[in-house]
């Protein structure tokens, strides 16, 4: 998306709460329903080229960037590096996936590799579920809750 700043200011001077803004931006993407239909910042042509899992990984990262933008009030390329570190810190401190084996084994990884590992784990759907279709929709719809939790985490830190 070329005009991402215009898109991020889609609701200028709004009286909506941050949670309502998060919903307003993310609802059209399908992340709330576990079925990706659109991306936030990238062109939708990628949807046909990527698997559902790859699309959810991108949507989760875009959602984290969106929440960070809404908390700060502006999007600044220079602050994106700090944002990535905050994303990793959020997942490390909240231990959202503590029960998974190998979760957050970050020895020797840089912030990009850590974030990629986290997003891989969050979007990973176990194929052993009997009814994978419904399970994947339900599980992926819970990724939206990660974004709401990240927003609450931002307010407290």
pLDDT (tens, 9 = 90+) of the chain, 157 residues, equals 556 566 666 665 567 788 888 898 899 998 888 888 899 888 888 888 988 888 889 999 999 888 888 877 666 677 788 888 888 888 888 876 554 545 556 777 888 888 888 888 888 765 444 455 555 566 677 888 889 999 999 888 7
Cα(123)–Cα(141) distance, integer angstroms: 10
Cα(56)–Cα(50) distance, integer angstroms: 10
Cα(139)–Cα(141) distance, integer angstroms: 5
């Amino acid at each position: 998306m070329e005009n991402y700043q215009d898109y991020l200011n889609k609701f200028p001077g709004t009286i909506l709460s941050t949670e309502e803004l998060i919903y307003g931006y993310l609802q059209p993407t399908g992340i709330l329903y576990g079925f990706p239909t659109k991306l936030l910042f990238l062109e939708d042509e990628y949807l046909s080229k990527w698997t559902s899992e790859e699309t959810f990984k991108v949507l989760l990262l875009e959602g984290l960037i969106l929440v960070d933008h809404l908390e700060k009030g502006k999007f600044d390329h220079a602050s994106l590096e700090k944002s990535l570190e905050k994303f990793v810190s959020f997942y490390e401190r909240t231990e959202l996936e503590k029960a998974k084996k190998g979760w957050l084994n970050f020895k020797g990884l840089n912030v990009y590799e850590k974030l990629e590992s986290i997003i891989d784990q969050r979007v990973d759907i176990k194929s052993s579920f009997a009814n994978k279709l419904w399970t994947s929709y339900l599980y992926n719809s819970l990724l939206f809750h990660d974004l709401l939790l990240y927003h609450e985490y931002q307010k407290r830190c």
